[in-house]
Amino acid sequence: NLVSRLKIWDIRSTPSKACMLTVNDAHTNDINVISWNKMEPLIVSGGDDGYLKIWDLRQFKVCIIEQYY
């Protein structure tokens, strides 16, 4: 499922090298929200699978998973 894939792009790079990181199964269903933390290297993703995931961009691993319904 393409909409459960999480990708991080660097818009400063050339298009062929802009995709920096990819997680193919970031959620088990559609991802419908992403938020970037300006102070820390973290992003939050939320999906129709009912989970919020906080990703540490230094390792690109989930550091916190919370079920919201």
User: 62 forms bridges with which residues in the sheet?
Assistant: 55
Residue with tokens 């300006």: 38
Give CA–CA dist 23/43, Å, rounded: 13
Tens digits of residue pLDDT in 4-19? 889 989 999 999 999 9
Q: Residue 13: its pLDDT value, please?
A: 94
Give CA–CA dist 69/63, Å, rounded: 19
Predicted TM-score (pTM) of the model is 0.81
Tens digits of residue pLDDT in 1-60? 668 889 989 999 999 999 988 888 899 999 999 999 889 999 999 999 999 999 998 888
Using CA atoms, how far residue 67 sits from 30, 45, 46, 50, 53, in Å, is: 15, 12, 10, 6, 9
Distance of CA 42 to the CA centre of its chain: 9
Q: Residue 16: its pLDDT value, please?
A: 93
